[in-house]
Amino acid sequence: MQKLEQLYEGKAKKVFKTDDPKLYIVDYKDDATAFNGEKKGTIASKGVVNNRMSAIIFAQLEEKGVPTHLVELLSDRETLVKAVKILPLEVIVRNVAAGSFSKRYGVEEGRKLVKPCLEFSYKNDDLGDPLINDDHILALELAAPEQLDLIRKYAFMVNDFLIEFFLKSDLNLIDFKIEFGLFDGKVILADEISPDTCRLWDVHTGEKMDKDRFRRDLGNVEETYQEVLARVEKNS
Ligand code: TMP
Ligand code: ASP
């Protein structure tokens, strides 16, 4: 399958058309941004880590009954995916308080939440991806009611799966962000699941093993991405 015209370039990935209108090729970059693009950098081989890790996770999620955009891994940086139309929602599930949740509600990072907590952001860089609730989503027709129901259901299925998946690699899943798209009118999981989009803390040391190392200048960013991929490849 050949890459044709570039359709889109995001902060971390490029998307290309193929000769099949129902399929795209995603090409993962090493570029890293944080704080809505204010902080910019490069994490060597991040694209390889995120591409390979996403393919492993999406393939296992399919087996668990979560439909995804994955068709097949093509190379270290490229994956063939279904040509979805992305819904403009960042779907976040939190198990432990951290990041913007801790800041917003004045809760210390690391406090276990008594139940997994789902939140949505409206994907809009100009607005800084503002928090949005179910009623807002329906009122603005960002998703239909039955689509929203499915998104909620799949998000918790992904959470249940990922908690176990990462525990096998001695990583605690603190929170993550996923995105969904429409393909043939159906809601399917799209985008990526990687150290860019999850918070992962080492079970033994509590060390941050994710993009917070870049966001917060904690050092060993590249090594940490490599370590997470190595653990995941060994244990899956
Ligand atoms: P937050 O605490 O900054 O809101 O982040 C929650 C989760 O979402 C965390 O795992 C990081 C991930 N995330 C993204 O994948 N993309 C983003 O643009 C942001 C802000 C967070
Ligand atoms: N997507 C965010 C941005 O560039 C990065 C992040 O914090 O994950 O701004």
123 lines ligand 2 (CB under 6 A): no
Distance CA 204, CA 208 (A): 11
- At 47 the pLDDT is 98
The strand pairing partners of 28, in sequence order, are 13
> From atom 8 of ligand 2, which residue's Cα is the shortest distance away?
34
The H or E element containing residue 138 is helix 134-139
36 lines ligand 2 (CB under 6 A): yes
User: What mean pLDDT value characterizes the chain?
Assistant: 98
Q: How many CA atoms lie within 13 A of 21 on its CB side?
A: 1
The burial class, CB within 10 Å (0-12 / 13-18 / 19+), for 113 is middle
Distance CA 120, CA 129 (A): 9
Distance from the CA of 211 to the center of ligand 2, in angstroms?
Answer: 9
Can you tell me which atom of ligand 2 is nearest the CA of 35? 9
The H or E element containing residue 71 is strand 70-73
95 lines ligand 1 (CB under 6 A): no
Residue-wise pLDDT tens digits, 136-167: 999 999 999 999 999 999 999 999 999 999 99
99 lines ligand 2 (CB under 6 A): no
Longest dimension (CA), the chain: 51
pLDDT confidence of 9, banded at 50, 70, 90?
A: very high
Distance from the CA of 200 to the center of ligand 1, in angstroms?
Answer: 12
Kindly report the pTM of this predicted structure: 0.98
The burial class, CB within 10 Å (0-12 / 13-18 / 19+), for 120 is buried
**212 in Cβ contact with 200 (< 8 Å):** no
Distance CA 38, CA 26 (A): 24
Q: Does residue 1 register a pLDDT over 90?
A: no
Distance from the CA of 187 to the center of ligand 2, in angstroms?
Answer: 24
